[in-house]
Amino acid sequence: MEIPDYLPISYLNQYVYCPRRFWLMFVHGEMDVNAVLLDGTYKHQRVHQSGVHWHPDGRQYTAVWVWSDALKIAGVADFVQEYDSDDLIPIEHKRGRMGKYLNDHVQLCAQALCLEERTGKTIDYGEIFYWKNRRRETVRLTDALRDKTLQIIDEVFALLAQDNMPAPIDHPTKCRDCSLEPICLPQEVLQLMKEQS
């Protein structure tokens, strides 16, 4: 398959959740629109209107295009808070509850790496707002998270170069929450693979 010049940052999130989900969405263009997804799309539409809002201690930009020429990734940050102190804080909105997995953290970190490259400033943390339980999580951009994000970017490019759809993950909880489960058929495929091995 043709390797894209720049990976969309939101697909890094999908890859961390499940490489097969990433493949189904990015390569096959699969998108099972269910009520949860529609709700998320509606909430993101409200977020994804570019603009700037003024606060007593700075400015908040919405729907900010970010990219890294070094890492070959690009995407849209829901919000970027710019304080008068010069600090930049990327803020991501998610429709669900506070994440149990690292996928949202990697997406946020990728946005921060892009902002750092564009501005030359160091970003210490970002925030994720979860609509479902109205919780705001502060995510420290530790060396470990930065390394993990770089590793994921490499893995995704390598996967695309291999041009081979990943097998389903053996993770019933993730699969239960995955909108692509009816297309992916993880249990059936895993069973077939077991029988053929």
List residues near ligand SF4 by CB under 6 A: 18, 20-21, 24, 168-169, 174-175, 178, 180-181, 184, 186
The least CB distance from residue 121 to ligand SF4, in Å, is 36
Q: Are strands 88-94 and 73-83 parallel, antiparallel or unpaired?
A: antiparallel
Q: Are 116 and 147 in contact (CB under 8 A)?
A: no
Comparing CA positions, the residue from 154, 65, 145, 134 lying closest to residue 108 is 145
φ/ψ of residue 92, rounded to 5: -115, 140
Q: What span, in angstroms and rounded, lies between the C-alpha atoms of 136 and 89?
A: 13
Amino acid, res. 136: R
Q: Which is nearer to ligand SF4, 28 or 53 (CB)?
A: 28
The least CB distance from residue 189 to ligand SF4, in Å, is 8
Q: Which is nearer to ligand SF4, 12 or 123 (CB)?
A: 12
Q: Which is nearer to ligand SF4, 63 or 169 (CB)?
A: 169
The least CB distance from residue 34 to ligand SF4, in Å, is 13
The least CB distance from residue 20 to ligand SF4, in Å, is 4
Q: Are 115 and 88 in contact (CB under 8 A)?
A: yes
Q: Which is nearer to ligand SF4, 52 or 193 (CB)?
A: 193
Q: Which is nearer to ligand SF4, 124 or 177 (CB)?
A: 177
Q: Which is nearer to ligand SF4, 160 or 175 (CB)?
A: 175
Q: For the chain, give me the number of helices (H) and strands (E)? A: 8, 7
Q: What is the DSSP letter of 15?
A: H
Q: What span, in angstroms and rounded, lies between the C-alpha atoms of 12 and 84?
A: 31
φ/ψ of residue 168, rounded to 5: -60, 150
The least CB distance from residue 17 to ligand SF4, in Å, is 7
Q: What is the DSSP letter of 116?
A: H
